[in-house]
Amino acid sequence: MTGSSPRPAVRETAIPGLLVVDLAIHGDARGWFKEHWQREKMIALGLPDFAPVQQNVSFNAAVGTTRGFHAEPWDKYLGVATGRAFGAWVDLRPGSGFGRVVTHELDPGTAVFVPRGIANAFQALEPNTAYTYLVNDHWSPDAAYSAVDLGDPALGVEWPIPLDRAVVSDKDRANPSLAEATAVRPLETVVLGGTGQLGRALRASFGGAGGGDPVPARFPGRGELDLASPESIRSYDWSGVGTIINAAAYTAVDRAEVDGRADAWTVNATAVGVLADIARRRRITLVHVSTDYVFDGSTSPHIEHEQPAPLGAYGASKAAGELAVQLVPRHYLIRTGWLIGDGPNFVRTMARLAEDGVDPAVVADQTGRLTFADELARGIRHLLDRRAEHGTYHLSNGGPVVSWFDIARDVFAEVGHEPGRVRPTTTGAYVGERVAAGQAIAARPMHGELDLAKIRATGFDPEPAATALQRYLSSH
């Protein structure tokens, strides 16, 4: 083989998540060379960052040697190192796609990404065919996996070499039919903080809202998993968990400056450190929700790699938790701000004041964008479902940057009241009134706008905050 084949490309198949990769082969008189896996290039092409931990090689001397169908409990990225093979895959994940089959011929210029839950089988078409594959969990002789009969008529696989003339192990010949096969249960998602504004939106999201097969999720209460107790976190049953979404936090910003400081650090820093250690050791994806309060608000917009500079105890505790999360190989650190969801919040307060005939004074010199809980949940699901590159992302609703004063006026108008009833004030005046009344108040970042370019680059288009506000008020 001389010269080079076309540049690498990734192709989808009829089984969601099963991807065929056309590899570039570079050959000359000496032979050929290929990059079977090159993380940066492959991710850019659309392959998931599946974090392989082990490489295996399988050698078949005789033509017709056939292996499978096996659905091992891990993701797999495979190709042919030498020779040629026929590959077949059947979806054993629960849902409408169960039993769907895809076949493809494999040579050194082809690789396939096989997600967990899809059974694979191979038949050697040339002598001395060798497969090489990467997996993202360590092989164990005790590992249990689902299997299917290679010759089940329900699959309709047309093997190039009939199975009665193929080399098949006794174990594979005894595999069950598709009708008797055990579906591969997806790894579960554990959501912490399920009773909060974001937690409630995540409950709706993981309940199957929006179509498609729901991802199994647990929402442990404080009686099952108490973030104030490291031992409670460690003793929780983390088996079968693929993702942790930490939507819990100590958010009493003002109280954190006085008698709530220890509680803020316990929940926002210490507990997050324990979760991060569990996620790292168990190779779990950790999604952690942080805040614009890790910044001092002196610049706008805030970008993902900006150096944190918290103004108060709450922001400092959240910044400390971020440091732990960033040590987890598979993490999504999501910063947000100005959250509005199902529960007490600024928008509901302004709507109530409008109806009660109160004319509030609202700060006009703090700027940012609202983040509606359902949009934040949608963004989290987007990153997970798309298997976007791990790292830090900023996420809020879109649209122009506004002040709390602007939002209050919009709320008054949306609920049918005169927006001119809302009076502007400054942060300094507001703080002065609170202090004079003997109330503790923490410093707020003056500019909370988050740059959204990075998450937009993943294909997520945040809904304009004004549109979300109209819908929110019409339904609450």
The residues that are catalytic are 70, 133
Residue 197 — φ and ψ, nearest 5°? -60, -45
| CA-based radius of gyration for the chain | 27
Give, in degrees to the nearest 5, the angle at Cα 199 between 314 and 251: 15
Query: Is the backbone of residue 64 left (phi > 0), alpha (psi -120 to 50) or beta?
Result: left
Cα separation, 431 vs 461, in Å, equals 36
Question: What is the CB-side half-sphere exposure of residue 225 using CA atoms within 13 A?
Answer: 23
Distance, C-alpha 416 to centroid of its chain: 39
Cα separation, 470 vs 414, in Å, equals 7
322, 275 contact by CB (below 8 A): no
For the chain, the distance separating the N- and C-terminal CA atoms, rounded to the nearest angstrom, is 67
Amino acid letter, 445: P
- Give the SS3 label for residue 106: strand
Q: How far is CA 241 from CA 115, 236, 237, 245, 286, in A?
A: 16, 11, 9, 11, 11
224, 235 contact by CB (below 8 A): no
Q: Residue 72 burial by CB count (10 A; 0-12/13-18/19+): exposed, middle or buried?
A: buried
In sequence order, what are the beta bridge partners of 131?
A: 58, 80
Question: What is the CB-side half-sphere exposure of residue 248 using CA atoms within 13 A?
Answer: 27
92, 146 contact by CB (below 8 A): yes
The set of residues, in sequence order, having a beta carbon less than 8 Å from that of 167 and lying 6+ positions away, is: 60, 62, 64, 65, 66
Residue 17 — φ and ψ, nearest 5°? 90, -20
